[in-house]
Amino acid sequence: MIPRPETAHWLAAAVALLLGLILLSEIVVGTRVFRRRAWRAYLFPSLALGSGAFLLLITIFSTFSTMHLVAHALWAEAAMIAGGVQLAVVRGKLSSAHWSLVTAGALLVCGAAFLVHEPNPWLFSRSAFLHHVIGWMLVAAAAFPLGQALRPRWVLWPAGFALTWIVLALLLFADRDTAPIFGRFGGAG
């Protein structure tokens, strides 16, 4: 019952890319223009919530090790909770800017799960390299929603948050477990 890891990683990467592009679109055209159609405001949080629920499907395929089961469950729930809270913020159910701290917490948890579930050093393999990069990137990216909670009007925060998703997509597209770090340029594989 194990799906090919490329399939799962590339699906996740496609979703991450879509999330990043949605956020980036809003930054490029401005929130006022982007939200002329009301439904656009719900795109990112709904997709995050839905992709979290979908990740639970991947979770139940990840019973080949306890670590992977728990890590996938954490990623799924973090996406669901952060997506749900953001959806409530967009809808007006929650009003404080401080609710973006939930997103910061979700990024921290996801990053920590990436780092903990990878026991090998950075240069052991491509997957080890990518897991370390993704883990630390997500931990660092928690600063963006944190900043948004403290200084909501500064464009650096949403821009950094959007780029995080796009870089995450690139890294996930590249995620292979025992391949050399830089693919066919690495000399093996």
Partner 1 sequence: MTRRLVVVGVLLGVALVAPGRAAAHVSLLSATPEVQSSLDAAPTQILLRFTEPVAISPSAIRVLAADGTVLSGVARAALGDLVVIAPVSGLVQGSAYTVRWRVSGQDGHSPSGVFNFGVGVPAPPPTEAVGAKPTTWKDDLARWLLFASLALVIGPLVIRLIVLRGAVPQPLERRFHLVPTFAAFAILNVGIAAFVLRASNALQLPLPDLLYGDLQPFAEKTRFGIAFLALTLGFGVVATLLVFAWVADLHRLRLPALALSVVLASGISLSSHQATLPNSSKASELADWLHLVSAAVWVGGLVALAFLVWPSAPALRARAFLGFARLAVGLVGVMVLAGAYLALVRLPALSDLWESEYGRLLLVKLAIVALALTWGALHHFVVRPRLEAGEQPRVRPSLVGETFVAIAVLLLAAVLTNASPPETTTTTTTSAQPSR
Where does the chain show beta strands of DSSP type E? none
If one asks whether residue 183 binds partner 1 (CB under 8 A), the answer comes out as: yes
Q: How far is the CB of 151 from partner 1 (least distance, A)?
A: 26
Q: How far is the CB of 140 from partner 1 (least distance, A)?
A: 18
Q: How far is the CB of 94 from partner 1 (least distance, A)?
A: 9
First to last CA, the chain: 25
- Stretch of 25-33, 135-143, 150-158, 175-183 lying at the interface with partner 1 (CB under 8 A): 175-183
Q: Which of residues 132-151 bind partner 1 (CB under 8 A)?
A: none
Q: Which of residues 19-58 bind partner 1 (CB under 8 A)?
A: 49-50, 53, 56-57
Q: Which is nearer to partner 1, 35 or 176 (CB)?
A: 176
Please give the C-alpha separations between residue 45 and each of 20, 100, 129, in angstroms, as whole numbers: 12, 12, 29
* Residue 3 to residue 175: CA distance in whole angstroms: 15
* Residue 115 to residue 172: CA distance in whole angstroms: 15
